[in-house]
Amino acid sequence: MPVRGTSPTQVKHGDLAAITAKKLEADHASELRAREEELATSLRLEAEASDEVIDLTEQDLPEIEEPVEVGDDREVFEVRINAEIQDMTLGAGKIYNFTEGGKYKVTRHMRDHLEERGYIWH
């Protein structure tokens, strides 16, 4: 409760705690304004970046000679890989490398593994 005759924003001349609190409040206010400006700039830059359109239509993709049909009754499948894969491990101690656009004969298990990760060309 404020002292009679003073307002809550006034500080008594000898009240060191109140004087220090006012000074810290003023310092904090300037830091807060600076941080608000940083955030506003950051949000503006993010909004500008989200308006940017990235064109993916000009990619150099390998040509497909013929489509590969994948049947469900076979145990060996011929697939074409759509990305470079290096040191892929499938099974204990089995490491594979694939080149983009390369055709490979693979087992059903490997085909399913590659298909789940989106590496088979369709």
Q: For the chain, which residues make up each domain, given as ranges?
A: 1-52, 57-122
* pLDDT computed for residue 115 by the predictor: 92
Name the class of domain 57-122: alpha beta
Cα dihedral: 77, 82, 83, 88 (round 10) = -20
Cα 33 to Cα 63, 91, 96, 100, 111: the distances in Å are 57, 57, 56, 52, 57
pLDDT digits (tens, 9 = 90+) for 41-80: 887 877 665 555 445 445 555 666 776 665 556 678 888 8
